């Protein structure tokens, strides 16, 4: 329908909740609510098995359509809206995603050892679930999550490929990684709502600064180290010696990170370079309290992204936690008192593309974040 037709007064009278789908019969009667429409169509089609083989199966279908509506569909807008650029808040988005994932755990438990949601053939329950999961599968439920929820994921992959489903829903491809929305930074949000910001007490405003700026001074001055190290001709020798002598373990921390790739990733160097560069670009604003070397290692088709990051303070800072891709990295805190960790830090920070070998893997590309 066109926007004009939707606004038409006669149509508005028929469309009691103003939403779609709306079924209009030949005699002019109308019906809204997708599940009610689906059931009606099944009921008037003699011999349809879509409503189950008895009253109990029919009630089980209701159980699943109600469940999906009150969990997944209820949270769908909150979960996918911000991905499409609709206004939203990070906390509310995370809550919507959590609610959807909680519901999927229930579906997964139910589908373990089953081919259909109810009984031994396709019913409206399967149709309701496959369509409810179309957007979450494309945008949210990444390969890692699906791997951990194999029963529902396998069922969805198979059923969504059925010719009759593809005919109506299209060829829906599940995502490899969750598409994360970009929420405005606190400062930008303030710009958009100057009155609200002005009303905040001064003390609260102060809290919004970077807590790393407020830390007790350290004997290890990051900028001095960067100046010395980056200009040092003998990084692995004099450069690292200087670092280990000056490093202040109480004021900083160091992590080894390894990108947890999924099937199909790591096969082409240029794709891994795009991924590494994209990852670093998104943290470009955060240099003041960090230093790192990120590398691409190994051989096609089994390349890896690994690196060693140093941060001011103890623990991974909020700036990294908020990075939309950082959760896909395994992290291990390094201890400069251990020779093997000192070697790892040295290997990464002194890495040279097409020259260095780290843990038996050749370094193909590397980028310093300084």
The 3-class SS string of 145-182 reads HHHHCHHHHHHHHHHHCCHHHHHHHCCCCCCCCCCCCC
Q: Which is nearer to ligand GSH, 15 or 368 (CB)?
A: 15
Report the candidate in 362, 346, 357, 307 with the shortest Cα–Cα distance to residue 229.
346
Residue ranges in 116-145 that form contacts with ligand GSH under rule CB under 6 A: none
**Residues 323, 314: Cα–Cα separation, whole Å:** 18
Provide the Cα torsion 158, 164, 169, 171; round to 10°. 50
Beta carbons of 152 and 111 less than 8 angstroms apart: yes
Q: What's the closest the beta carbon of residue 19 comes to ligand GSH, in angstroms?
A: 3
Q: What's the closest the beta carbon of residue 6 comes to ligand GSH, in angstroms?
A: 9
Which two three-digit tokens encode residue 250? 């109480």
Q: What's the closest the beta carbon of residue 12 comes to ligand GSH, in angstroms?
A: 12
Q: Does 294 bind ligand GSH (CB under 6 A)?
A: no
Q: What's the closest the beta carbon of residue 33 comes to ligand GSH, in angstroms?
A: 5
Q: Which is nearer to ligand GSH, 75 or 153 (CB)?
A: 75
Beta carbons of 313 and 251 less than 8 angstroms apart: yes
Q: What's the closest the beta carbon of residue 18 comes to ligand GSH, in angstroms?
A: 6
How many degrees, rounded to 5, is the angle at CA 98 between CA 93 and CA 104? 130
Q: Which is nearer to ligand GSH, 22 or 345 (CB)?
A: 22
Report the candidate in 134, 144, 224 with the shortest Cα–Cα distance to residue 176.
144
Signed CA dihedral, 161, 48, 44, 38: sign only: negative
Which two three-digit tokens encode residue 140? 């949210």
Report the candidate in 236, 209, 222 with the shortest Cα–Cα distance to residue 351.
236
Count, residues near ligand GSH per rule CB under 6 A: 6
For residue 241, the tally of other CB atoms under 10 A from its CB is 13
Q: Which is nearer to ligand GSH, 18 or 315 (CB)?
A: 18
Q: Which is nearer to ligand GSH, 20 or 56 (CB)?
A: 20
Beta carbons of 71 and 102 less than 8 angstroms apart: yes
Q: What's the closest the beta carbon of residue 77 comes to ligand GSH, in angstroms?
A: 8
Residues 3-22, one symbol each (x = binds ligand GSH by CB under 6 A, - = not), give ---------------xxxx-
Q: What's the closest the beta carbon of residue 69 comes to ligand GSH, in angstroms?
A: 7
Q: Which is nearer to ligand GSH, 38 or 358 (CB)?
A: 38
HSE-CB at 200 with a 13 A cutoff on CA atoms is 12
Report the candidate in 77, 57, 138, 141 with the shortest Cα–Cα distance to residue 107.
141
Report the candidate in 294, 298, 300 with the shortest Cα–Cα distance to residue 270.
300
Q: What's the closest the beta carbon of residue 93 comes to ligand GSH, in angstroms?
A: 19
Q: Which is nearer to ligand GSH, 23 or 221 (CB)?
A: 23
Residue 365 bridge partners (DSSP): 296
Q: What's the closest the beta carbon of residue 3 comes to ligand GSH, in angstroms?
A: 11
Q: Which is nearer to ligand GSH, 29 or 186 (CB)?
A: 29
Residue ranges in 74-93 that form contacts with ligand GSH under rule CB under 6 A: none
Q: Which is nearer to ligand GSH, 20 or 244 (CB)?
A: 20
The DSSP letter of residue 214 is G
Residue ranges in 24-43 that form contacts with ligand GSH under rule CB under 6 A: 33-34
Q: What's the closest the beta carbon of residue 5 comes to ligand GSH, in angstroms?
A: 14
Q: Which is nearer to ligand GSH, 35 or 344 (CB)?
A: 35
**Which residues contact ligand GSH by CB under 6 A?**
18-21, 33-34
């Amino acid at each position: 329908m066109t926007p004009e037709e939707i606004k038409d007064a006669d149509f508005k009278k028929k469309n009691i909740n103003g939403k779609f789908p709306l079924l209009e019969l030949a005699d002019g009667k109308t019906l809204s609510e997708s599940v009610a429409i689906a059931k009606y169509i099944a009921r008037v089609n003699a011999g349809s098995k879509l409503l189950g083989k008895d009253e109990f199966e029919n009630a089980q279908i209701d159980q699943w359509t109600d469940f999906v509506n009150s969990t997944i569909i209820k949270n769908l807008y909150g979960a996918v809206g911000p991905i499409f650029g609709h206004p939203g808040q990070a906390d509310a988005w995370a809550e919507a995603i959590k609610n959807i994932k909680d519901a999927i755990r229930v579906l997964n438990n139910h589908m373990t050892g089953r081919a259909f949601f109810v009984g031994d053939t396709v019913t409206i329950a399967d149709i309701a679930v496959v369509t409810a999961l179309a957007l979450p599968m494309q945008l949210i439920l990444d390969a890692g999550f699906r791997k951990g929820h194999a029963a529902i994921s396998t069922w969805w992959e198979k059923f969504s490929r059925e010719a009759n489903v593809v005919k109506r829903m299209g060829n829906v491809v599940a995502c490899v990684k969750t598409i994360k929305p970009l929420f405005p930074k606190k400062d930008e949000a303030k710009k958009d709502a100057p009155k609200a910001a002005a009303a905040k007490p001064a003390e609260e405003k102060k809290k919004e600064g970077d807590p790393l700026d407020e830390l007790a001074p350290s004997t290890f001055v990051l900028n001095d180290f960067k100046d010395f190290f980056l200009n040092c001709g003998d990084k692995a020798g004099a450069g690292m010696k200087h670092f280990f002598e000056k490093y202040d373990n109480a004021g900083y921390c160091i992590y080894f990170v390894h990108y947890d790739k999924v099937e199909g990733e790591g096969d082409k160097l240029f794709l891994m370079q795009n991924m590494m560069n994209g990852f670093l670009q998104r943290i470009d604003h955060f240099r003041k309290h960090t230093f790192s070397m990120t590398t691409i290692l190994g051989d096609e088709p089994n390349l890896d992204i690994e690196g060693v990051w140093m941060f001011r303070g103890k623990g991974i800072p909020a700036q990294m936690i908020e990075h939309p891709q950082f959760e896909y990295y395994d992290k291990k805190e390094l201890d400069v008192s251990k020779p093997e960790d000192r070697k790892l830090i040295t290997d990464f920070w002194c890495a040279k593309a097409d020259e260095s070998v780290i843990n038996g893997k050749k370094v193909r590309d590397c980028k310093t974040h300084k």
